[in-house]
Structure 1
Amino acid sequence: MNIRSIIIDDNPFNIEVLSDLLQENDIKVNLVGTAKNGKEGLELISSVQPDLVFLDVEMPDMNGFEVLASLDKINFRTIFVTAHSHYAIHAIRFNALDYLVKPIDQKELNLAIRRFRSNSNADHQNQMKNALKNMERKNALDQVLFLPTQEGGIKMALRDIIKIEGDRNYSTFYLSTNKTKISSKTLGHFEEILTDKGFFRCHRSFIVNYHHIDKVQKDFFSMKNGENIPISRRRKVDARDWFSVVKSKK
């Protein structure tokens, strides 16, 4: 498989470093062009039709997400490249997108390219469109969680998720539509990406959605559907504090 790639980054040094790493990479990647800003990047995408774009998140004229939002169709895969920007990394992880952190490590680059090859049949245009829509939605409950699968992916509106139950390396989502969805990601993964969106891990086996909580009791959350979800002993104080803070913001 001949991977045709481009780099869009406003820092010439970063372009040079990534170019060198691609030449040394275990998997052959053909670099067919580079661009130093978003405008040039859009022109380059149009002219060379790449398979893979290494896209800097933070650029002065437009950020990486704005570059993608400017396209009618996204017929390529994207690996975002970012410094230690908490906001950018959190947004990327929530939307199940791939990324590398500067300074780029050769092993991490190799893994990212391997993921690109193994996921070549997934519906990435649909995934990216979902991510861009999420970034436009100011209310977290209006955002949609995308879970990649071999068949293309599962979408779930955050407002529909009542709870997530973890069992070893799997997580089960219980929805207000009376449906369940299973992910091969751990509960810890979802705790990390959902904490700032009105979700709370109250027990080693459960994450709850504030939107579906009726009240907090001594040892459990009373949910609006009549269910009681346990609160572990070590999380009782945190649970009450979290519930009070979130409630005050609503």
Structure 2
Amino acid sequence: MSLKCVVIDDEQYAIDAMVGYINKITDLDVFTTYVSALDALTNIKKEDNIDFIFLDIEMPEISGLELAKSLRDKTKFLVFTTGHPSYALNAFDLNASQYLLKPISFAKFATTIDYILKDLTIVNSSVQVTKSRLQFIKADNKSAYHYIDSTEIIYIEAAKNYVLIYTGKEKFVTHMGLNHIETALDPKYFIRVNKSNIIAKNAIKKVEGHTIILNNTKTLQLGDVYKPAFQDFLNGSLLKAGF
């Protein structure tokens, strides 16, 4: 397995360091590098079949976050490489695979690649992947983590710069984008009902018009944008008389 890698950074020494790391890992190959974000935007094509893009954030011409909006569908994995932790929430809203803080050691780089490729191996071997499991999330404390099994989740709520996850017994807080969490959940069991909320389908107690009542008595309003998908779910779950 040989995976194509692209490195985009406005500092050549950072590119050189990343290229050195990539060359140390057997499964990775450097496809090309860009010191100019504009050149990357112009030249990277979907048909290049790129596996990894390693992308800096603070660059002249175009920021890495803006560039990612155009490049995300042109690579399997998008890894931000930056010296600024404050962009993490925005990065995961863009469906980033990982977020590496500079200075990046080879050990950290190798561990990150190993983590990503293990997920790829699971998918390619046709093993059933339980996307509905969130596994570990970061807590407020920098060194603390929570394990959450999605079978216990009732609903999830976005609140400013963090997300609240409600189970039957507890509430968890994590600094992560709602979009990022949504991609980790299995749509067979979860559904987005408005801009700020994702709910477990089996937690619905009653639906009255645009009002959704959950089995913990929480009441949410169905957003117009999400109504068609929600109605399709209801129609597909409706008990019908046989004739």
TM-score by length of 2: 0.52
Distance in 1 of aligned mates of 2:72 and 2:23: 31
One-letter amino acid of the structure 2 residue matched with residue 205 of structure 1: E
Q: Give distance in 2, aligned partners of 1:79 and 1:169.
A: 24
How far off is 1:39 after superposition? Answer: 1.6
Asked whether the 8 Å contact 1:5–1:50 carries over to 2, the reply is yes
The aligned amino acid for 1:50 is: I
Corresponding residue for 1:106? 106
**Match of 1:11?**
11
Per the TM alignment, residue 38 of structure 1 is displaced from its structure 2 partner at its CA by 1.8
Higher helix share: 1
User: Tell me, what secondary structure is at the counterpart of 2:59?
Assistant: coil
The letter of the residue matching 1:31 is: V
Report SS of the residue matched to 1:32.
strand
CA RMSD of superposed structures (Å) = 4.0
The 3 A distance-change label for structure 1 pair 60 and 74 is same
Q: How does 1:171-182 map to 2 (within 5 A)?
A: 171=149, 172-175=152-155
Identical aligned pairs, as a percentage? 19
Matching residue's letter, 2:41: L
Q: What's the secondary structure of 2:74's corresponding residue?
A: coil
> CA shift at 1:197, angstroms?
4.0
1:71 Cα deviation from its structure 2 partner: 4.6
In 1, Cα distance between equivalents of 2:48 and 2:147? 41
Cα 1:110–1:84, aligned 2, differ >3 Å: closer, same or farther?
same
Letter of the aligned partner of 1:43 in structure 2?
Answer: T
In structure 1, the residue matched to 2:80 is 80
Q: How does 1:50-69 map to 2 (within 5 A)?
A: 50-69=50-69
SS where residue 88 of structure 2 aligns? helix
3-state DSSP class of the match of 1:104? coil
CA contact (8 A) 1:22 1:29 kept: yes
Shift, 1:53, TM fit: 0.8
Cα pair 1:11 1:36 within 8 Å, conserved: yes
Q: Deviations over 1:42-76 (max 9, x none)?
A: 23422743211111122111122211322594343
CA contact (8 A) 2:57 2:64 kept: yes
2:171 partner amino acid: F
Query: What runs of 5+ residues in structure 1 fail to find an aligned partner?
Result: 124-148, 156-167, 177-189, 213-223, 230-250
Deviation at 1:152, TM superposition (A): 5.6
Match of 1:150 among 129, 132, 135: 129
For residue 148 of structure 2, the aligned residue among 166, 170, 182 is 170
Structure 1 counterpart of 2:44, one-letter code: I
Output the CA distance in 2 between the equivalents of 1:24 and 1:2.
Answer: 13
